[in-house]
Amino acid sequence: MILSYVTLGIVISLTALLGISSIDDELSATPMVYEEALYDLHSVESISDRGVRALYAYLLTGVKSELSEYRENVEILPSKFETFYSSALLSTPQEEPQRIKFEAIKRSWTAFTSVTDAVIDEFDRTGLISTAELLSIEESLTEYHQQVNAVIEYEHRKSEEALLSLNQIIENSRLLSIVAACIGLAALILIAVLMTKQVNRFMTNQNELLHHLRQRGAQLLSAQHRYEAIAKELTQYIDTANAPIFGIDANGQINEWNQPASKITGHQKENVLGRNLVQEFITEDYRMSVQEVLQDALQGTETSNYEFPLYTKAGARVDVFLNATTRSDVNSNVVGVIGVGQDITEVKAAQAGLQQSQRLEVIGQLTSGVAHDFNNLLTVITGNLSFLREELGVMSTDVTEIINDAQSAAKDGAELTHRLLAFAHQ
């Protein structure tokens, strides 16, 4: 009987030792590896966030120190990417989905820096930044943000799976302790005590890990909110721009329509999205030429200051200058066109008024010159008639009537010249 208990105790002791060894392995590896991977991911988020803030600060203010800070963060980030990837592989080795997501983050960040480098070069050269360039920054930043969120979700899911696995180990270890306590000999009590200590230490580490995970989750959520705020600011910038801005996709359907565009046409954004721009909003006589301009932009040939009329919802004519700019995604694939317009209706009306005024001025000058010349001729005629009347003295009735008629006509001619001069003065 004693030998049976001793044999049973040895078997149970060996089983308990194996269980304790398994718990030790989990305690020494998984929690710390996940904590390090999440910390490195937060570091990547923080550095890219600082870089984006510095970039927008430079584009808004032109301060060179902001540009330097942006470039410093861009140079640091690749090494941080590799550090995170190494930590992540320790937690989930040979995970193909994880490697694919990591490569997608690097590609989207590289695409973002390529777009921003081009925008910075243009800004340094001209001191200006176009709406299309801001949109390209927004699109590439959104792509990067989506890839980072995918990795965040993936790491959180794997972390939760690891915690469930560790909880299962805890339950198994507790059951092993109970069995050892009930069946084992007195020597097994020491093993049970040791296992209880190990479990308590594991629970302490697990609580600490959970606390760290919650902190990291809050930090990552805060970074996500910051990116969403940046995207919202860019959208607000487009919507509140002074110029009417519209966008179409590769099929010619409207996908962007800001407030000034709604104001000059009378069509609200929610009523135009998804509709064909040329077929539904351009007059028939200009549809072909406008279609050619947009088609050229879809092929990469941009057009500036193309003039055409729009008719508003109420039927009024609006003259517009259009700049058609190609819109590309982060992989440089053409996805549509951004049109930035300028309402020139009042300018054209002012030009027409000025031309009419200039024509009237020319007519007035011509009329004044003719009137003065004609008046000089009438003065000679009137003087000669008066001279004849004095020289001839007593004249026949017929001669007197002829001279009177001539003087009357000269008087009428003089009155006509006065009216011409009055018209020329006006």
| Region class of 92: left (phi > 0), else alpha (psi between -120 and 50), else beta | beta
Residue 323 bridge partners (DSSP): 340
268/417 same-domain check: no
Structure confidence at residue 180 (pLDDT): 62
**Proportion of the chain above pLDDT 70, given as a percent:** 77
Instruction: Give me the pLDDT at residue 14, please.
Output: 65
Q: Is the pLDDT of residue 145 over 70?
A: yes
The yes-or-no verdict on residue 385 having pLDDT over 80 is yes
Q: What is the pLDDT of residue 296?
A: 92
Question: Would you call 322 helix, strand, or coil by DSSP?
Answer: strand
Give the CA angle between residues 157, 232, 213 to the nearest 5°.
Answer: 25
Taking residue 257's Cβ as centre, other Cβ atoms within 10 Å add up to 25
| Maximum average pLDDT range among 14-18, 149-153, 323-327, 387-391 | 323-327
Among 206, 148, 125, 140, which residue's Cα sits nearest to residue 173?
A: 206
Using one digit for the tens of pLDDT, what is the confidence trace for 113-133?
988 988 898 888 888 888 888
Q: Indicate the pLDDT class of residue 355, thresholds 50, 70 and 90.
A: confident
| 287 and 203 in a common domain | no
State which of 343, 366, 401 marks the end of a domain: 343
CATH of the domain at 253: 3.30.450.20
Residue where one domain finishes, among candidates 188, 217, 239: 239
Please write the tens of the pLDDT for every residue from 211-243. Answer: 876 787 777 677 567 756 675 775 677 777 788
Q: State the pLDDT confidence band at 32, using cuts at 50, 70 and 90.
A: low
Shared domain for 10 and 48, answered yes or no, is yes
- Give the β-pairing of 317-328 and 303-311: antiparallel
287-303 pLDDT, tens digit per residue, is 899 999 999 998 989 88
Residue 67 has pLDDT above 70, yes or no: yes
- Is-above-0.75 flag for pTM? no
The three-state DSSP-derived secondary structure of 254-317 is EEEECHHHHHHHCCCHHHHCCCEHHHHHCCHHHHHHHHHHHHHHHCCCCEEEEEEEEECCCCCE
For residue 275, count CB atoms less than 10 angstroms from its CB and return exposed for 0-12, middle for 13-18, buried for 19 or more.
middle
What's the total number of domains in the chain? 3
Whether residue 342 is predicted with pLDDT greater than 70 in this model: the reply is yes
296/411 same-domain check: no
Whether 20 has a pLDDT exceeding 90, the answer reads no
Domain that holds residue 393: 352-425
Residues 213 and 293 grouped into a single domain: no
Q: Which residue has the higher pLDDT, 33 or 412?
A: 412
pLDDT in tens, 161-180: 766 776 676 676 667 666 66
User: Model confidence over 187-199: pLDDT tens digits?
Assistant: 556 655 655 676 5
Say if residue 339 is in the same domain as residue 300. Answer: yes
> Same domain, yes or no, for 123 and 270?
no
92 and 206 co-located in one domain: yes
Q: How far apart are the first and last CA of the chain?
A: 136
pLDDT at 413: 92
Read off the DSSP letter of residue 248: E
Q: Which of 156, 269, 288 is nearest to 213 (CA)?
A: 156
- Domain co-membership, 308 together with 367: no
CA 358 to chain CA mean position, Å: 46
Residue where a domain stops, chosen among 223, 239, 255: 239
For residue 268, name the pLDDT band (cuts at 50, 70, 90). very high
Same domain? 324 vs 362: no
Beta bridge partners of 422: none
- Computed over every residue of the chain, the mean pLDDT equals 79
Same-domain check for residues 227 and 97: yes
| 125 and 215 share one domain | yes
What pLDDT is attached to residue 370?
86
